[in-house]
Amino acid sequence: MLKIEKDHSLIKYTTLKISSQADYFAVIKNKSELLEAIKFAKDNQQAIFVLGGGSNVLLTNRIKGLLIKNEIKGIQVVKKNKDTILVEASSGEIWSKFVSYTVENKLYGLENLFLIYGTVGAAPVQNIGAYGVELKDYFYQLQAIDFKSGKEKTFSITDCRFGYRDSIFKNKFKGKYFIYSVTLKLLSKPNFKLNYGSIGAALINKGIKKPTAIDVIKTIEEIRNSKLPNPFVLPNAGSFFKNPEVNLQIFKKLLQQYPDMPSFPVSRTKVKIPAGWLIEQVGLKGKKFGPVRMYEKQALILVNEGGASAKQVLNLVAKVKLAVKKKFGLDLSEEVNII
Ligand SMILES: Cc1cc2nc3c(=O)[nH]c(=O)nc-3n(C[C@H](O)[C@H](O)[C@H](O)COP(=O)(O)OP(=O)(O)OC[C@H]3O[C@@H](n4cnc5c(N)ncnc54)[C@H](O)[C@@H]3O)c2cc1C
């Protein structure tokens, strides 16, 4: 029988390590435990919250309801074609372990997404992305369970409405479904994307001209470890803000005032401006506010030296947003899920 605990502390379940509590808490390891948890919530009129690795959330309040910590595991190859392979992973699998599995089994495509923290089930929620690759590039479908009806539903790539760090699960269906498994369409031959960031240059520096998938993920690991704080050493939730997308006309005006302003093309009419650069320009990179600060090596990451409260985090978030708005007229929006 599923163990449901009352008044459970959540501090160790999120990488930002902010103190919080859940009215009810359960760790689930298979479908029958999930259905039991859903039934408990229904019978006791409790809302349900899902947590994977807790690497993209800020808990600001007590969770009034049942918090499900997802540990459902399993990976299987569903179908093999000549050029593509469908692989289904249960949502409680650790994302990086899953990427390692694909590399070991010569299934290609996910290399650039190596070392993103958290679980497979959270990956479609914000359409995880890194170094020019997004989950949607290899997404096939996902299975989810509706909290209200308990019924299973298949979501295609169109149903998920993926965007930049965005999907229907952050909007219309926020908190409505439990993502049970994710199926990806991977390649039987390598098609590495090495022209983004410093991956290509790092491989050449190492004298590697024809990289294997292992070379690529090792290089990604080295680059990430040199830039990003390890959340298990210095608590953080990765990029706190999204890079704002602006239309070209506005960008051209900004460039007249700030000729050094960096950008990445998004479409013929839009560019993305690195939020980390904006935060640095307003003087908030590395500046301490009690136990919290925007990280000195990557200003987009909010770090907690230890003991920070949700209020201290939210105060810094508000300061950053206000300063960027005042100087550049741009609105930053949070990438992290604030619950
Ligand atoms: C150091 C660091 C670097 C990072 N780098 C990147 C990066 O390069 N690119 C990137 O995209 N992200 C990055 N992230 C953010 C984070 O790793 C990803 O967003 C990841 O997918 C979150 O997974 P999680 O299991 O920890 O999700 P959680 O934080 O547990 O949950 C995130 C959201 O998804 C929901 N959710 C989780 N599981 C399910 C489920 N099974 N069904 C329904 N809803 C669910 C939760 O309710 C919550 O709203 C980084 C984080 C850190 C700490």
- How does pLDDT run across 210-219, given as a tens digit for each residue? 999 999 999 9
Q: What distances in angstroms separate CA 246 from CA 218, 251, 265, one per listed residue? A: 34, 6, 10
- Of 116, 143, 162, 165, best ligand 1 pocket probe by most atoms within 8 Å of the beta carbon: 116
Clarify whether residues 275 and 311 are in a common domain: yes
The answer to whether the beta carbons of residues 217 and 103 sit under 8 Å apart is yes
Is 119 close to ligand 1, i.e. is its CB under 6 Å away? yes
How far apart CA 62 and CA 9 sit, in angstroms, is 10
CATH number of the domain that 152 lies in? Answer: 3.30.465.10
Q: List 156's β-bridge partners, or say none.
A: 141
Is 51 close to ligand 1, i.e. is its CB under 6 Å away? yes
Is 122 close to ligand 1, i.e. is its CB under 6 Å away? yes
CATH number of the domain that 301 lies in? Answer: 3.90.78.10
Which among 65, 9, 10 is positioned nearest to 42, based on CA atoms? 65
Clarify whether residues 130 and 151 are in a common domain: yes
Q: Which atom of ligand 1 is nearest to the CA of 237?
A: 53
Clarify whether residues 63 and 102 are in a common domain: no
HSE-CB for 270 with a 13 A CA cutoff: 8
Q: Which of 26, 43, 70 is the last residue of a domain?
A: 70
Residue 193 in domain? no
pLDDT tens string 247-300? 999 999 999 999 999 999 989 999 999 999 999 999 999 999 999 999 999 999
Q: Which of 29, 48, 70 is the last residue of a domain?
A: 70
Clarify whether residues 105 and 178 are in a common domain: yes
CATH number of the domain that 43 lies in? Answer: 3.30.43.10
| Cα 55 to ligand 1 centre (Å) | 5
Residue 209 in domain? no
Kindly report the pTM of this predicted structure: 0.96
What integer pLDDT is reported at residue 197 of this predicted model? 74
Query: Which of 91, 134, 165, 293 is the catalytic position?
Result: 165
Surface-to-core class of residue 191, CB atoms within 10 Å of its CB (0-12 exposed, 13-18 middle, 19+ buried): exposed
Clarify whether residues 96 and 180 are in a common domain: yes
Residue 103 in domain? yes
Clarify whether residues 80 and 66 are in a common domain: no
How far apart CA 216 and CA 103 sit, in angstroms, is 10
Residue 195 in domain? no
pLDDT tens string 126-170? 999 999 999 999 999 999 999 999 999 999 999 999 999 999 999
- Of 66, 117, 146, best ligand 1 pocket probe by most atoms within 8 Å of the beta carbon: 117
How far apart CA 221 and CA 131 sit, in angstroms, is 12
Clarify whether residues 131 and 175 are in a common domain: yes
What integer pLDDT is reported at residue 324 of this predicted model? 98
Residue 290 in domain? yes
Please, which pLDDT band fits residue 198 given cuts at 50, 70 and 90? confident
Clarify whether residues 294 and 276 are in a common domain: yes
Total domain count for the chain?
3
Please, which pLDDT band fits residue 122 given cuts at 50, 70 and 90? very high
HSE-CB for 291 with a 13 A CA cutoff: 16
Which among 284, 260, 279, 236 is positioned nearest to 17, based on CA atoms? 236
Is 263 close to ligand 1, i.e. is its CB under 6 Å away? no
Clarify whether residues 252 and 177 are in a common domain: no
List Cβ neighbours of 49 (8 Å cut-off, separation of 6 or more). Answer: 22, 63, 65, 66, 67, 68, 175, 339
Give residue 275's domain range: 236-338
161 is catalytic: no
| Cα 134 to ligand 1 centre (Å) | 13
The answer to whether the beta carbons of residues 307 and 17 sit under 8 Å apart is no
Clarify whether residues 81 and 170 are in a common domain: yes
Assign 172 to helix, strand or coil. Answer: coil
Q: Which atom of ligand 1 is nearest to the CA of 165?
A: 11
What integer pLDDT is reported at residue 184 of this predicted model? 98
- Residue 292 tokens, joined: 């919290």
- Residue 78 tokens, joined: 């569903």
Query: Which of 20, 90, 239, 263 is the catalytic position?
Result: 239
Clarify whether residues 160 and 240 are in a common domain: no
Residue 300 in domain? yes
The answer to whether the beta carbons of residues 127 and 162 sit under 8 Å apart is yes
Residue 220 in domain? no
Helix ranges (DSSP H) in the chain: 31-43, 95-104, 157-160, 199-205, 213-227, 248-257, 275-281, 310-328
